Chains A and B, each alone.
Chain A
């Protein structure tokens, strides 16, 4: 995956070469012609809006992810009474076996949690990765050498394994919800930044030799100004693409960690907890598994397609491949 990203992003600088228009408008025009990317963008925006709306809807008592309705789950083995997970006018996508909470509300609320975690972790990833990449690529020599070794070192750690191994240390017993949230964000980001740092570093290695950088330097610009004002704007493309691609991996990481027991205490829903709760019901209550499953697939697919589309739009040559 690393090499793929690097390939895609490698020559993006040429995107700015068309006269008379800003790189942004060029990219946007290309994007608009790409129907798949536009469709995924629409899905992403919709999901994001739903995620933002869920807490508001809950406050307005439109959705209710918590209240149990045991009377709705009186089937054998406490599966919902009625077909399709007991779907009804009140519970559009049915209720949770055994306890009878509204599935749609739980998935929407889970979306909020997952998006919050993933967005925060992505922001932190971008912050660390970009900083390390910039500094490492610009200064070169021993700075680069040592930062690159640190990057390699972190890359060598298996992220998921570390998340599990470190959890008892930081989460304590029992794991408090706030701790879990902080832990997920920090650890996901801590093991996610090296890929971005490598991409940025290689970009900076070529960027810093360009004339405009040399010009800025000869005019007396300090290194901070060059890094922030000259180099960083040129890196918006790869950063945006990387962020779009890394965000859904964090969402699926949350689901995997929920399976391993690192998640919020009930009744607070996350996509991962809802999905894992549904797994044993694959035969007896298939609808229940489908709803969070489809939601997770949508998130991952939409973001990935959007990321691909963005990369293509910013780098037409790779798009023609």
Chain B
């Protein structure tokens, strides 16, 4: 789980660079609920193409959201509701959210009888088992999440990898067959390597979706997904340009309590820049009236979109990303100095630099307020605005020489330059001498993960893979899985604390989900209090949609992207 989770984490971070997403509460001016009718064509126009449609290869929030609502069903899924409630996982193909053994290592699900493939055949346990097995064929099914490799109880080889190489080469097939059991076509039993208290949440990922063996075309499946959802691909799908989805005649609405499937047809187009996507939506001509986008509003569009005539067809949503600063513990070994940095920063000024309340809200924890593991917390009693004077007193008491020189590395753009300018001013008031290093965004995370290039203070942002602290704390704060000679992984603070690591192991083995989330929160507070992590902002995304779109909803559980389960056109 650890190694894989960290790989996942990198992807998550990269994703956000391309597509940050939604904000907390849905704005009041939208038109959620009521008035949705079946029929019509919905257009999805996005700047970034859906790189992988193959459920086992799809690892971006926007695509996961898109296909989970149209052509891919999972055992469990997120409900199509506003705000944090969307993270309360509900059954989809399964009849409930599963039965687990006391040790949380065996999970049993019963499949609904009337879930059908697009050719009318029922979706069975064998289909899920086959779909999940594809993740193991890493040479063919690349880029997807690898949680299955780590979770399923399959013997390890010498290098610690699962001794199974997928359904194409079939080495170790017997071992895999034991890890997922099909006692009957409508019953599936997972045998896990270690306790996973939130496994029913893991199963919301399309990586754990069913694939029909006779329809699997290996690498080509990316554009030939065989649907068990309310829609199916019409003709061929072009990964770069998009394609058209039409109704799946064999989808049984009563088998599905999440997807309303209002439009008759969904047409996707890719390739415009974010600015162009928004210019077209603002103009609201022709098919743009029926258009939604998975590209969030660029900063310059935010003020235009959220005020004036477009107010009625724009939404902002908490997207689950947390912006945070890491203080490198090798370069700043003095805990008091680290804490002084944490006390000096002004989170409200940071939010202002990002565009104010439309862009996010001040954060005090690494775990998003959307997650159950979130606890409101102010470890230094300085509030959101910070207190440079108090920080300076701490600096003077710590006995270090003032001004204390630090370098702040961040991913350079106009917005971040401003946030960095604020930070510099605040920290210099507290007795630091700050050098700002705005780095090339393309290679930013490589540079700050490089022990020889990283600096005292670095910026990053993160969102969970599913709404659990398990996809936040271990991938970011477990030094064992992150740090090697050549890289810090996602642990930009170079933090490798034995007590924390042990607490992570303990938390991972907890079988009680609530207790586990509490443990994550405690660890979150621990790293914040140590001045290792300085949470800055829980970010929001802004979206605009066409004037004929009804029931527009941004789903926070999927990173704040538009939820096609309930969107209709007039």
Knowing A66-B425, A78-B353, A266-B420 are in contact, say whether A276-B414 is a contact too (CB < 8 A).
yes
Contact partner of A73 (CB less than 8 A), chosen from B302, B352, B424, B453, is B352
* A17 CA to B425 CA, complexed, in Å: 62
Return chain A residues, CB-CB under 8 Å to B443: 173
Knowing A76-B307, A266-B420 are in contact, say whether A67-B438 is a contact too (CB < 8 A).
no
Which residues of A72-94 have CB atoms within 8 Å of chain B's CB atoms? 73-79
Return chain A residues, CB-CB under 8 Å to B447: 173
Decide if B349 touches A77 in the complex (CB within 8 Å).
Answer: no
* A277 CA to B352 CA, complexed, in Å: 15
**Closest chain B CB from A296 CB (angstroms):** 18
Cβ of B306 < 8 Å from any Cβ of A?
Answer: yes
Decide if A76 touches B299 in the complex (CB within 8 Å).
Answer: no
Contact partner of A70 (CB less than 8 A), chosen from B299, B346, B424, is B346
* Interface residues in chain B, defined as those with a beta carbon under 8 Å from any beta carbon in chain A: 298-300, 302-304, 306-307, 346, 348-349, 352-356, 358-359, 409, 412, 414-415, 417-418, 420-422, 424-425, 435-440, 443, 447, 453
Return chain A residues, CB-CB under 8 Å to B417: 266-267, 277
Decide if B437 touches A174 in the complex (CB within 8 Å).
Answer: yes
**Closest chain B CB from A25 CB (angstroms):** 51
Decide if B300 touches A284 in the complex (CB within 8 Å).
Answer: yes
Decide if A79 touches B303 in the complex (CB within 8 Å).
Answer: yes
Decide if B306 touches A76 in the complex (CB within 8 Å).
Answer: yes
* A127 CA to B298 CA, complexed, in Å: 46
**Closest chain B CB from A285 CB (angstroms):** 8
* A76 CA to B302 CA, complexed, in Å: 8
Decide if A99 touches B437 in the complex (CB within 8 Å).
Answer: no
Decide if A68 touches B414 in the complex (CB within 8 Å).
Answer: no
Contact partner of B349 (CB less than 8 A), chosen from A70, A75, A266, is A70
Return chain B residues, CB-CB under 8 Å to A100: 352
Decide if B352 touches A267 in the complex (CB within 8 Å).
Answer: no
Return chain A residues, CB-CB under 8 Å to B302: 76-77
**Closest chain A CB from B303 CB (angstroms):** 3
Decide if A96 touches B300 in the complex (CB within 8 Å).
Answer: no
Knowing A70-B348, A96-B418 are in contact, say whether A265-B436 is a contact too (CB < 8 A).
yes
Contact partner of B358 (CB less than 8 A), chosen from A66, A76, A277, is A76
Nearest B-chain residue to A268, judged by Cβ: B436
Decide if B352 touches A70 in the complex (CB within 8 Å).
Answer: yes
Decide if B353 touches A70 in the complex (CB within 8 Å).
Answer: yes
Decide if B421 touches A66 in the complex (CB within 8 Å).
Answer: yes
Interface of B is mostly: helix
* Interface residues in chain A, defined as those with a beta carbon under 8 Å from any beta carbon in chain B: 66-68, 70, 73-79, 96, 98-101, 173-174, 261, 265-267, 276-277, 280-281, 283-284
Nearest A-chain residue to B352, judged by Cβ: A70
* A99 CA to B349 CA, complexed, in Å: 8
Knowing A70-B346, A79-B303 are in contact, say whether A267-B424 is a contact too (CB < 8 A).
yes
* A281 CA to B447 CA, complexed, in Å: 31
Decide if B355 touches A77 in the complex (CB within 8 Å).
Answer: yes
* A67 CA to B424 CA, complexed, in Å: 9
**Closest chain A CB from B440 CB (angstroms):** 7
Nearest A-chain residue to B423, judged by Cβ: A68
* A70 CA to B350 CA, complexed, in Å: 9
* A237 CA to B118 CA, complexed, in Å: 83
Decide if B421 touches A68 in the complex (CB within 8 Å).
Answer: yes
* A276 CA to B412 CA, complexed, in Å: 14
What would be 12 A-B contacts, judged by CB atoms less than 8 Å apart? A75-B303, A78-B353, A78-B354, A98-B352, A98-B354, A100-B352, A261-B412, A265-B435, A266-B436, A267-B421, A277-B417, A283-B304
* A75 CA to B357 CA, complexed, in Å: 10
**Closest chain B CB from A183 CB (angstroms):** 16
Return chain B residues, CB-CB under 8 Å to A66: 421, 425
Knowing A77-B303, A266-B417 are in contact, say whether A99-B438 is a contact too (CB < 8 A).
no
Return chain B residues, CB-CB under 8 Å to A78: 352-356, 359
**Closest chain B CB from A71 CB (angstroms):** 9
Beyond contacts A70-B353, A78-B354, A265-B436: 4 other A-B pairs, Cβ-Cβ < 8 A, are A75-B303, A79-B303, A174-B409, A283-B304
Knowing A174-B438, A280-B299 are in contact, say whether A76-B409 is a contact too (CB < 8 A).
no
* A265 CA to B435 CA, complexed, in Å: 9
Interface of A is mostly: loop
Knowing A98-B418, A266-B420 are in contact, say whether A77-B425 is a contact too (CB < 8 A).
no
Contact partner of A98 (CB less than 8 A), chosen from B298, B348, B355, B435, is B355
Nearest A-chain residue to B426, judged by Cβ: A68
Nearest B-chain residue to A96, judged by Cβ: B418
Decide if B424 touches A99 in the complex (CB within 8 Å).
Answer: no
Return chain A residues, CB-CB under 8 Å to B299: 77, 280
Return chain A residues, CB-CB under 8 Å to B437: 174, 265
* A183 CA to B299 CA, complexed, in Å: 31
* A100 CA to B421 CA, complexed, in Å: 10
* A283 CA to B301 CA, complexed, in Å: 9
Decide if B439 touches A98 in the complex (CB within 8 Å).
Answer: no
* A160 CA to B424 CA, complexed, in Å: 32
Return chain B residues, CB-CB under 8 Å to A277: 414, 417
* A84 CA to B532 CA, complexed, in Å: 42
Return chain A residues, CB-CB under 8 Å to B358: 76-77
* A277 CA to B353 CA, complexed, in Å: 12
Interface centre among B300, B349, B359, B421 (most CB of A within 10 A): B421
Decide if A99 touches B412 in the complex (CB within 8 Å).
Answer: no
- Which 8 residue pairs across A and B have the least CB separation, nearest first? A77-B303, A280-B300, A174-B437, A70-B349, A99-B418, A266-B417, A284-B303, A78-B356
Nearest B-chain residue to A76, judged by Cβ: B303
**Closest chain B CB from A271 CB (angstroms):** 15
* A284 CA to B421 CA, complexed, in Å: 22
Decide if B440 touches A99 in the complex (CB within 8 Å).
Answer: no
**Closest chain B CB from A83 CB (angstroms):** 15
Return chain B residues, CB-CB under 8 Å to A101: 421
Return chain A residues, CB-CB under 8 Å to B359: 78
Knowing A68-B425, A77-B299 are in contact, say whether A98-B436 is a contact too (CB < 8 A).
no
Return chain A residues, CB-CB under 8 Å to B412: 261
Nearest B-chain residue to A276, judged by Cβ: B414
Return chain B residues, CB-CB under 8 Å to A75: 303, 356
Return chain B residues, CB-CB under 8 Å to A276: 414
Interface centre among A101, A173, A174, A284 (most CB of B within 10 A): A174
**Closest chain B CB from A102 CB (angstroms):** 13
Nearest A-chain residue to B414, judged by Cβ: A277
* A99 CA to B299 CA, complexed, in Å: 14
Knowing A68-B421, A267-B421 are in contact, say whether A174-B439 is a contact too (CB < 8 A).
yes
**Closest chain B CB from A33 CB (angstroms):** 47
Return chain B residues, CB-CB under 8 Å to A79: 303
**Closest chain A CB from B444 CB (angstroms):** 10
Nearest B-chain residue to A285, judged by Cβ: B303
Contact partner of B438 (CB less than 8 A), chosen from A77, A98, A266, A281, is A266
Contact partner of B304 (CB less than 8 A), chosen from A174, A266, A284, is A284
**Closest chain B CB from A252 CB (angstroms):** 20
Nearest A-chain residue to B412, judged by Cβ: A261
Nearest B-chain residue to A97, judged by Cβ: B418
* A76 CA to B300 CA, complexed, in Å: 11
Return chain B residues, CB-CB under 8 Å to A99: 352-353, 418, 421-422
Return chain B residues, CB-CB under 8 Å to A284: 300, 303-304
Return chain A residues, CB-CB under 8 Å to B304: 283-284
Nearest A-chain residue to B438, judged by Cβ: A265
Return chain A residues, CB-CB under 8 Å to B436: 265-267
